[in-house]
Amino acid sequence: MSGVISLTILLVIYAASEYVARRTNGIIDTVLTISVLGLIGFWSGVLPKNLFSNSGVEEFGMSIVGLMLTSLGTTINLSELKRQWCP
């Protein structure tokens, strides 16, 4: 399976899960829906076992981890952190 088709399948699963989350007003979470759809797809054999490696998501994910950690650090409110941890 080509990388473009693999990535398209992953994006369709993501779009379907976002649709479910919006229709249920967040009662059913996006991540839960992605997990359930992926689990059903892999167990039934509809999705290939190498879907993530073919799509190139693994390489992108590993390269973005540093940026995500830096971004997370900038969202911390230091005064709130100090209030919670210092008596």
Per-residue pLDDT, 13: 93
The tens digit of pLDDT for each residue in 43-73 reads: 999 999 888 888 888 888 777 877 777 777 7
The percent of residues above 70 in pLDDT, for the chain, comes to 100
Residue 74, pLDDT above cutoff 80 = no
Integer Cα distance of 47 and 66 in angstroms = 29
Q: b/e map of 21-44 (b: 16 or more CB within 10 Å)?
A: beeeeeeeebeebbeebbeeeeee
Helical residues (DSSP H) of the chain, grouped into ranges: 3-23, 30-44, 51-55, 57-74, 78-85
pTM of structure: 0.69
Domain count, the chain: 1
Task: Residue 34: give the domain boundaries.
Answer: 3-85
For the chain, the residue count is 87
Per-residue pLDDT, 23: 93
Q: CB–CB of 34/47 below 8 Å?
A: no
Integer Cα distance of 15 and 8 in angstroms = 10
Where is pLDDT greater, at 58 or 28?
28
